[in-house]
Amino acid sequence: MYHIAQLNIALMRAPLESPIMADFVAWLEPVNAIADSAPGFIWRLQSESGDATSIRAFDEEYMLVNMSVWKSVDDLYQYVYKSDHAQVFRRRKEWFELMEQSATVMWWIPAGHIPTVDEAKIKLELLRKNGPTPQAFTFKQRFSVEDMLKTS
């Protein structure tokens, strides 16, 4: 059995303490609670504070990382676009810079595996270099577990 892992990164327009980021910060706990109780949710990256805003996986000081694991791509899609998370997602341009390269990647993992940030960074680079493949893809161009297994 396989699950879907996802990474998304975002470059903040200002420090988290800034008034520009206040609404985003206010939404962190509610959005994480929505994810934690969403159908198909398995795991999310977080520090002792309960979110991932203090985790710096990239050289850019204002780069946030978000990682999670879901039972299926459809479960993740429902959370991102159909739950109350969508309210926050629609406002992302208020808080984050437009990224020139892909900022989101998904990949299949064996059930029970918890991906590392380094693993996720490799998948993002793979997507940026090769475009969507069965090893690293996006919502717009998805691949099945079977596609991934055929190319492994």
Rounded Cα distance between 9 and 89, Å, is 13
CATH number of 2-151: 3.30.70.100
What are the pLDDT digits (tens) for 99-112?
999 999 999 999 99
Rounded Cα distance between 57 and 55, Å, is 6
Rounded Cα distance between 64 and 8, Å, is 8
pLDDT category, 49, cuts 50, 70, 90?
A: confident
pLDDT category, 152, cuts 50, 70, 90?
A: confident
Widest CA span in the chain: 49
* Helical H segments across the chain, by residue range: 22-37, 73-77, 85-89, 92-95, 117-130, 145-151
Per-domain boundaries in the chain: 2-151
144: left (phi over 0), alpha (psi -120 to 50) or beta: beta
